[in-house]
Amino acid sequence: MPKPSYDGVIASVPVPMSADMEIDLAALRSYLAWLEPQGVTGVVVNADTAEGAHLTSDERAQVVAAAREAVGGRLPVISGLICARTSDAVTLASQLRDAGADGLLVFNPPSFLGQPLPTDMVLRYFEPIRGIGLPLIGFNLAADLGGSVLDTGTIKHLIDEGLIDAIKEASFNPVTYIQSRDAVRAAGRPVGFLSGCDNFIHESFLLGADGALLGFAALAARMTVTLLDLVKSHAFDEAAKLNAESVQLLAATLYGPPMRDSRARIKEGLAALGVIDSTVVRPPLMPLSAPDRDAVIAAMRTAGLL
């Protein structure tokens, strides 16, 4: 079982679906074989990019097993854990572990919405999930994307209690990003700090990140890896040029409003590259309109992907 690494680019990947909206495991394995050589340090399945909330528990386990077949032993396979109840989360976490997951990205349940959020409530959610024995990544996700943001005190408690090994910061707010970064840096044990800010990737790297966990990397992995390497090596002029000429142009299209359409946009991009055949998303998500599809293709051409 490869241990997740938090100092590179982890791609949050889509799950291809057939015309009748069933998951296409063969297409998933083929897609991951295309993605693996591009320098990513891991893959996340069953998360937001993969329409994880729209998959059954059995489907999520099947996706993990298929990803494990495709890249297991070479890349860690991390699964999103999206549940509303603690007992369901523990049951699903065990099922995903048994299917071959090397770690879990823990989505905050809907009950975490609203402030103030008691730290004890968060700890009591994470503790039994941690008990199944897998590395856990906490997740700050903007509320308008269905998530919630943990305050800095709660982040510190999760780290000090040994309940998380990394945190993905996707509040899409630079002030919150910095506060979360500082909470991680000040904690009593080292954990990974991962940028999840697909709409300002370059800036988030400059603000400080050990690595990244991005849906953007599902389509533009090599570009993302190059950008992170340039920032880490202090080649700031080259990083700024790559961002201005490619990364931000594509990110602004993939993650422009409404951001819920990012899943369909990424699938359209992969289809344009010939990596997958079907761009089907599950309802209530909707396929792209023709103008939106054209915008994705145009952005890919401008960014140099086509």
Please tell me the distance from the alpha carbon of residue 300 to that of residue 285, in angstroms, as a whole number.
Answer: 22
Supply the DSSP symbol for 109: P
Distance between CA atoms of residues 101 and 88, nearest Å: 17
Tell me how far apart the 2 most distant CA atoms of the chain are, in Å. Answer: 51
Show Cβ contacts of residue 59 under 8 Å, excluding neighbours closer than 6 positions: 23
25-62 burial, b for 16+ CB within 10 Å, e for fewer?
Answer: bebbbbbbeebbebbbbbbbbbbbbbbbebbeeebbbb
Q: Considering only CA atoms, which of 193, 175, 299, 305 is closest in space to residue 248?
A: 299
224 marked as binding residue: no
Cβ within 8 Å of residue 58, ≥6 positions away: none
**Tokens linked to 256:** 């422009």
Q: How far apart are CA 264 and CA 67, in angstroms?
A: 20
Show the DSSP H helices in 18-160 as ranges.
Answer: 25-35, 57-71, 86-99, 119-130, 152-160
From the annotation, which residues make up the binding site?
49
From the annotation, which residues make up the binding site for pyruvate?
49
